[in-house]
């Protein structure tokens, strides 16, 4: 294939990605009644207050993805040196591709296509380390929230509850120990003949020392605090009277359940809304407000970044030229 043909094909691929993303987003926004419920809830609230709260949540969204860009730059430095701006471009591009791919698989492609071709598979492994860090926090805080939820809302014998707490502690320790010894995975893969021949791709796991992993999970923790705070702010704002501890507990449980369910970002709002209603019904009967809060977070954290990321899709380096195709 000639250079000119590659350029033409690259433009077509990028255009198809952007058009597909916008069609998916448009269809979902038009069909989403939950967002209409959210706008109805805002009718009796002063406009200045709406601007202040929604503006704060939007700023937190940007901060959240900037933190992810910082984490991505740190993760990938063992593979290829990239600038902070390049990290931002790849993160937002990944969000656009994730919007219409199962379990956000497109996010991997959106990022690694900003790397040189020979380093892309290794880049996927590096990205997986960051995702594992986020998953560890989701599982640990979710397990803690589960213990509090059972204690508060589910009648259970003391001995049974003690057993559940012990299991939760073991569950948390497993993920923490596994994460901080991620290089073990490198050794495990080397022990199998089938995977040994691919060691050039996953040997990067051995480069992540505990100090480095601590920094990565610290950034992941900052992100966890940010998007938990987004839920907290909206629930306190739209459903006054909820106990602060209950909001945090239910939000952590919501994240845990979401992480365990296969989903597509565009249709994830329905899963989030149903799950949120089932959880929050224990502390409030304002189901419409719960759905509205969840849908608005979906719009702010998923849809808006995906729209912003569509600009960076055109900077994808699909065929590995020195410059963007």
Confidence check: pLDDT of 143 > 80? yes
Average pLDDT for 67-94: 93
Whether 23 contacts 101, CB under 8 Å: no
Question: Which pair of structure tokens corresponds to residue 320?
Answer: 């590995």
pLDDT at 10 over 90: no
The two three-digit tokens of residue 31, written as one number: 């069909």
Asked whether residue 118 carries a pLDDT value surpassing 60, the answer given is yes
Q: Average model confidence (pLDDT) for the chain?
A: 87
Q: Which two tokens stand for residue 115?
A: 């790397």
Mean local confidence (pLDDT), 61-83: 94
Q: What is the pLDDT of residue 262?
A: 65
3-state secondary structure of 117: helix
pLDDT at 266 over 70: no
Q: What pLDDT, on the 0 to 100 scale, is given for residue 322?
A: 46
Say what the pLDDT of residue 20 is. Answer: 80
Neighbours of 59 (CB within 10 A): 10
Q: What is the pLDDT of residues 227-256, one digit of tens each?
A: 999 999 999 998 988 999 999 999 999 999
Q: How is residue 128 written in tokens?
A: 């997986």
Q: What is the pLDDT of residue 211?
A: 94
- Closest CA relative to residue 224, chosen from 146, 305, 307, 301: 301
> CB-based burial of residue 323 (10 Å sphere; 0-12 exposed, 13-18 middle, 19+ buried)?
exposed
Q: What is the pLDDT of residues 95-111, one digit of tens each?
A: 998 887 777 788 888 89
Summarised one tens digit per residue, pLDDT across range 19-53 is 887 787 777 667 666 667 777 778 888 889 999 99
**Mean pLDDT over residues 65-77, rounded?**
95
Percent pLDDT > 90 in the chain is 46
Mean pLDDT over 88-96 rounds to: 92
Angle at 94 between CA 128 and CA 87, to 5 degrees: 80
Average the pLDDT over 178-199 and give the result. Answer: 82
Flag whether pLDDT at 130 surpasses 70. Answer: yes
Q: Return the percentage of the chain with pLDDT > 70, whole number.
A: 91
- Residue extents of the structural domains in the chain: 3-313
Contact 320, 117 (CB under 8 A): yes
Task: Dump the DSSP string for 59-92.
Answer: HHHHHHHHHHHHHHHHHHTTT----HHHHHHHHH
Distance CA(167)–CA(66), nearest Å, equals: 35
Q: Which of 18-27, 162-171, 276-285 has the lowest mean pLDDT?
A: 18-27
The DSSP secondary structure of 166-203, one letter per residue, reads: HHHHHHHHHHHHHHHTTHHHHHHHHTSHHHHTTHHHHG
CA 4 to chain centre: 37
pLDDT-derived band at 174, boundaries 50, 70, 90? very high
Q: Is the pLDDT of residue 161 over 60?
A: yes
pLDDT higher for 55 or 312?
Answer: 55
């Amino acid at each position: 294939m000639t250079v000119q043909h590659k350029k033409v094909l690259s433009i077509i691929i990028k255009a198809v990605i952007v058009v597909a993303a916008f069609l998916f987003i448009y269809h979902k926004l038009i069909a989403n009644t939950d967002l209409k419920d959210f706008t109805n809830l805002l009718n009796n609230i002063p406009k200045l207050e709406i601007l202040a709260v929604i503006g704060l949540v939007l700023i937190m969204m940007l901060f959240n993805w900037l933190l992810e860009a910082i984490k991505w730059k740190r993760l990938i430095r063992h593979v290829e040196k990239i600038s902070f701006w390049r990290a931002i471009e790849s993160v937002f591009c990944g969000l656009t591709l994730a919007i219409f791919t199962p379990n956000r698989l497109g996010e991997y492609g959106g990022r690694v296509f900003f790397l040189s071709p020979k380093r892309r598979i290794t880049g996927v492994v590096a990205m997986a380390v960051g995702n594992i860090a986020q998953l560890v926090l989701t599982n640990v805080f979710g397990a803690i929230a589960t213990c509090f939820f059972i204690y508060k809302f589910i009648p259970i014998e003391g001995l049974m509850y003690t057993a559940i707490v012990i299991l939760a502690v073991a569950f948390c320790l497993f993920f923490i120990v596994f994460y901080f010894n991620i290089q073990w995975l490198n050794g495990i893969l080397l022990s199998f003949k089938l995977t040994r021949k691919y060691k050039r791709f996953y040997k990067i796991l051995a480069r992540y020392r505990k100090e480095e992993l601590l920094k990565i999970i610290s950034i992941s923790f900052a992100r966890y605090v940010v998007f938990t705070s987004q839920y907290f702010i909206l629930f306190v704002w739209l459903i006054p009277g909820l106990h602060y501890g209950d909001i945090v507990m239910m939000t952590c449980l919501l994240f845990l359940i979401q992480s365990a369910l296969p989903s597509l970002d565009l249709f994830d709002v329905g899963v989030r809304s149903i799950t949120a209603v089932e959880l929050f019904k224990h502390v409030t009967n304002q189901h419409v407000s719960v759905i509205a809060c969840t849908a608005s977070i979906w719009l702010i954290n998923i849809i808006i970044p995906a729209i912003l990321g569509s600009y960076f899709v055109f900077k994808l380096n699909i065929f590995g030229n020195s410059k963007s195709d």
